Amino acid sequence: MPGPFAPERLYKGALTILTTLREAGHEAYIAGGAVRDHLLNRQQNDLDLATSATPDQIRPLFKRTFSIGESFGVILVRMQGRDYEVATFREDQDYRDGRRPASVRFSTAREDVLRRDFTINGMLWDAEQERVLDWVGGEEDIRLRRVRTIGRPEERFAEDRLRMLRALRFAAQLDFEIEEQTWEAICRQADRLEEVSTERMRDELQKILLAPCARRGLAQLRESGLESALKQRFLKNYNELCKATSRRDRLNGSLQGLFPESGVAEELDGWLLINCSLLCGMPPENGGTIKLDGWRGLLHGVDKKLFCSELYRLSQAQKQSNDACRVLSETAELWFDLQGLKGCRLADQLRLLRSRECHRLRRLLPILCGEEAVELEQWLHELETRHGSALHPRPWLNGHDLIALGAPRGPVLKTLLRELESEQLEGRLASRQEAESFARARL
């Protein structure tokens, strides 16, 4: 049997709102995913409320309210330091853009449930009676561990095309199967995903990347045809960002190409793997397979600057933040730099070790390097043990000092600063005087 409905930190404020609404003569319940997670013994992170009260009736009952979607009957109520969405029971009408209704009509609890996407999200929690209200078979589908639309799947997906991605996301998060008719409708309408904005696609894909069954979810994207729609959108955005000489005809790989069965620790790890797969062509288009330790071979002969630039642009095309684009590109640069690094001078090895994204690269070594990962990580660990305390030495000389010594501004100055840092990292400059002597000799 499920335990308490929700953590007290969430439930206490929700109960206060529900009680206030009921005492004012309105129906009020907890709705949606929180009920599903209660039945699955999963911890809820937020609680959404549904009520027969209209926004004009809700607002006077509470001290702090905010309008976040009043035309759709949604008011934000702040209670005990937390925000709760309180939505009026409604019917959605006249879907025209594959995303949102043109208008709504306030209605009953049952009608409100019937407009929702999936049965597992279509239940209500009656806190007063401590019972689930289920008019759509959500409890049965939870028992059977399946994702099924409320009503005809074609109609639900025509209302909001993103629901096709959401079905795969819920299956990946909950380790559920997608009900047969729901799956068939996704496959038939996959090409209509193009009606959805890039940002909404990105957000759902990101949730799949972090799901317990992420690799299976990525495989279902490919099998259903949704992956093709995603790639077409990303490629279109990519080409709009690039000059004519940088345009791409296609994204050759599959989203699941490099993705591990065990999943990833962070969302940007997942984005790096799927984007590298898309750019490098994993698995091969002819249906063949490639071992993960063959990833090194895929980069053989690839221009580092061009590849990292393409990766940055592809991340932009997915509407990633500027910081995320930087992280992904920098991590890829490190991967290129790691190849043959053992034969490089110590200063270059230490620069890689101290770089901002080295921790991410090291976390991904088992995926990117296969059997070589253990040896590489051991080498990096030993390098860190021996030199970790000296990775960021305070420079003996700065640019102004070198100019005073006669160094010209520009590339010469930059090169000399790097040479000085290399000498210092390798322990050959122990004082300012030694640094000045080295600089004069180089000049």
* DSSP per-residue string spanning 326-341: HHHHHHHHHHHHHTTG
Fold annotation for 1-139: Beta Polymerase; domain 2 (3.30.460)
Q: Which two tokens mark 346?
A: 């110590």
In this structure, are residues 336 and 304 in contact, taking their beta carbons and an 8 Å threshold?
yes
Q: Which two tokens mark 240?
A: 């709009």
Amino acid 81: pLDDT? 93
Distance, CA of 131 to CA of 150 (rounded, Å) = 21
Region for 88 from its dihedrals, namely left if φ exceeds 0, alpha if ψ lies in -120 to 50, beta otherwise: beta
Distance, CA of 362 to CA of 188 (rounded, Å) = 41
CA angle, 216 as apex, 138 and 308 as ends, to 5°? Answer: 130
Q: Which positions ≥6 away from 256 have C-beta within 8 Å?
A: 215, 218, 219, 221, 222, 274, 277
User: Comparing C-alpha atoms, which of 160, 165, 152, 149 is closest to residue 96?
Assistant: 160
In this structure, are residues 164 and 189 in contact, taking their beta carbons and an 8 Å threshold?
yes
Q: Which two tokens mark 271?
A: 């984005």
Using a cut of 0.85, tell me whether the model's pTM lies above it.
Answer: yes
Q: 380-419: per-residue pLDDT in tens?
A: 999 999 999 999 999 999 999 999 999 999 999 999 999 9
Q: 304-344: per-residue pLDDT in tens?
A: 999 999 999 999 999 999 999 999 999 999 999 998 898 89
Amino acid 287: pLDDT? 42
> 143 φ, ψ to 5°?
-60, -40
**Residue listed under structure tokens 């071992």:** 291
Low pLDDT (below 50) residues in the chain: 1, 284-294
Amino acid 33: pLDDT? 95
Identify the DSSP state of 258.
S
Q: Which two tokens mark 268?
A: 């940007």
> Domain residue spans in the chain?
1-139, 399-442
Q: Which two tokens mark 381?
A: 């660990």
Distance, CA of 364 to CA of 373 (rounded, Å) = 9
Helix then strand then coil, in percent of the chain rounded to 5, is 60, 10, 30
